[in-house]
Structure 1
Amino acid sequence: MNQLLRNITSLEVAEMVGRDHNEVLKDLRRISTQLGEGILPQSYFIESSYTNSQNKELPSFLLTKKGCELYGTRMTGGKGTQFAVKYIDRFNEMEETIQQKQLLQDPITLALKAALETREQIQTIQQDVNLLKGTMRIDGRQEYALKEQGKSKVLQELGGYGSLAYEKLSRKVFAQLWRDFKKHFILPRSTELPRERFDEGVKFIAMWRPDTTLAIDIEAANKQAQFKLVE
C-alpha cells in the first residue's frame, strides 16, 4: 500500500503525457536498458501489473519520483514542462495523504483525539444535565413545604387565626403573597418553580411583607379588635 502511495503508475503517466499506455511501456523498457551498470532500474521503474475492464491482468510500471524526473528529461518544450508540473503535483498530493494517514495512525494522536471526543461528550452531557435541572419543577414534597411556609407567613403577618385581620383580610393577604411570588420568579403558577430555585423560594417567603396599603389595613383591623375588647 505504501509503495502504491509513493509511486505513480505508468497508466497515470500515459494520461499525463497524452500517449497510449503501450507506448509509455516501450519508453520505460528502453530507458531501463540504457541505464549504466551499478544503477538499479527499480529505483526508477518498478515492474507491476493492473487488471483492465475485461478483468485481464496486464503489465504496467510504477514510477518513483526519480523515475518521473528521468522520464521527463526525454520530453522537451511545453510537453516536458506540463508533465513536470503534473507529476510534481501528484507526488505532493500523495505525500499529504501519507502524512494524514500517519497522523491518524499515531497512538498519541489517536489518544488525544479520543480524549478530545470524550471531553466534548462530557460537555454535551453536562449541558443536557444543566438544561434538565433548569426545566425540572419542584416535586410534591417541596410544593407542600412552600404552601405550609406561606400559611405560616400569612398567619404571622395577620396576627394568628383568632385575629380580626385574619377573619377579614386572610384571603387578600394570601392572594398578594402568591402574586408577588409568581411575579418575582416570573411564573404562571407557583407550583412551576424550578427545583434548583427551591431554596430561593423559601427565602423569598421568609422575607416577604405585605405592601404598605395592606399592612395599614391589617393594623387597623387588629386595632379595631382591641377597641372592642376594651369596651
Structure 2
Amino acid sequence: MREIEQTLSSVEVAEMVGKQHKDLMRDIKRYTKQMWNAIEECGGERNFAPTDFFRESTYRTEQNKELPCYRITKKGCEFIAHKLTGTKGTVFTARYINRFHEMETELSTGANQELLLYLKDKLERQEAVLADIKSQTKVRGYLQTITQNTVQSEYKKEIGMRVEASMDIEYLRAVYTFAKHYPNKSVVV
C-alpha cells in the first residue's frame, strides 16, 4: 500500500502556536537557511535535509488569492516545538500530536475503506470470470458429449458395415464352396 506522508499547513501551525503566519514563515525560512548552511559546512554530508521538516507550498485565501506557505512534517512540528518554551511549547506539542493522530486515524479509515472497495471489486470480477469458466465448461462438456456420441455412432456404423460385409463375404464363400462341391445343384444367392 502506498505511503502517504502527513503534513500540516504552516497556516494551521501558526494558529496552534498563536503566531502570525508571516512570523512563522520568517522563522521557518531562518531554520531552513541554518540547516543548509550546516550542510555546506560539513562538505555536503548530512543526516537530514530541510525538506525532511519543511516543504515550500502555497494555499488559497478566502478571496481565492494564492499565497506561499510551508507543509510541515511531523519532524518539523517537533522542531518548532523545541524552539518554543513554557506553556506555549507544551500546548503546541499537545495540539500537533493530537492533530497527527487524527490524520493517522483518517488515513487508516480511508485506506481501509479503499482496500475494502478494491477487494470487493476484485472479488466481483473473479466471480464473473468463474461464472464464465463454468459456462464454457458446460458448453465444452456438451460439445464433448455430442462429439463422443457422433464418433461412437459413426464407429458403430463403420463396424456394422464391416461386419455385414464380412458376413456377406463369408456367405459368398460358403455358396461358392457349396457350388463347387455340388455343381449340379442350384444355389439361390
Question: Normalising by structure 1, what TM-score?
Answer: 0.45
Q: Which runs of structure 1 show a deviation greater than 6 angstroms over 4 or more consecutive aligned residues?
A: none
In the alignment, which residue of structure 2 is the partner of 1:63? 72
**Distance in 1 of aligned mates of 2:101 and 2:61:** 27
**Distance in 2 of aligned mates of 1:43 and 1:102:** 24
Structure 1 residue 111: Cα displacement: 2.7
SS of the residue aligned with 2:83?
coil
Query: How big is each residue's C-alpha offset from its partner over 1:179-202, in whole Å with a ceiling of 9 and x where there is no partner?
Result: xxxxxxxxxxxxxxxxxxxxxxxx
Q: Given that residues 103 and 109 in structure 1 are in contact (C-alpha distance below 8 angstroms), is that contact kept between their aligned partners in structure 2?
A: no
- Give the alignment partner of residue 94 of structure 2, picking from 73, 85, 97: 85
1:51 aligns with 2:70: no
**Distance in 2 of aligned mates of 1:58 and 1:33:** 20
**Distance in 1 of aligned mates of 2:19 and 2:117:** 46
Question: Normalising by structure 2, what TM-score?
Answer: 0.55
In the alignment, which residue of structure 1 is the partner of 2:13? 13
In the alignment, which residue of structure 2 is the partner of 1:27? 27
Q: CA RMSD in A?
A: 2.3
Aligned residues: 112
Q: Given that residues 72 and 84 in structure 1 are in contact (C-alpha distance below 8 angstroms), is that contact kept between their aligned partners in structure 2?
A: yes
Q: How does 1:110-189 map to 2 (within 5 A)?
A: 110-111=119-120
Query: How big is each residue's C-alpha offset from its partner over 1:36-89, in whole Å with a ceiling of 9 and x where there is no partner?
Result: 212311110010001112211100001000000001111011100000000000
- Give the alignment partner of residue 99 of structure 1, picking from 102, 108, 115: 108
Structure 1 residue 107: Cα displacement: 4.3
Query: How big is each residue's C-alpha offset from its partner over 1:5-30, in whole Å with a ceiling of 9 and x where there is no partner?
Result: 71111001111011110001001010
In the alignment, which residue of structure 1 is the partner of 2:162? none
Segments of structure 1 that go 5 or more residues without pairing to the other structure are 116-231
**Distance in 2 of aligned mates of 1:45 and 1:67:** 6
In the alignment, which residue of structure 2 is the partner of 1:210? none
Q: Given that residues 8 and 64 in structure 1 are in contact (C-alpha distance below 8 angstroms), is that contact kept between their aligned partners in structure 2?
A: yes
| Percentage of pairs with the same residue | 38
Q: Given that residues 11 and 21 in structure 1 are in contact (C-alpha distance below 8 angstroms), is that contact kept between their aligned partners in structure 2?
A: yes
After TM superposition, the structure 1 stretch with the greater mean CA deviation from structure 2, 15-24 or 35-44, is 35-44
**Distance in 1 of aligned mates of 2:116 and 2:33:** 45
In the alignment, which residue of structure 2 is the partner of 1:73? 82
Structure 1 residue 109: Cα displacement: 7.5
**Distance in 2 of aligned mates of 1:94 and 1:54:** 27
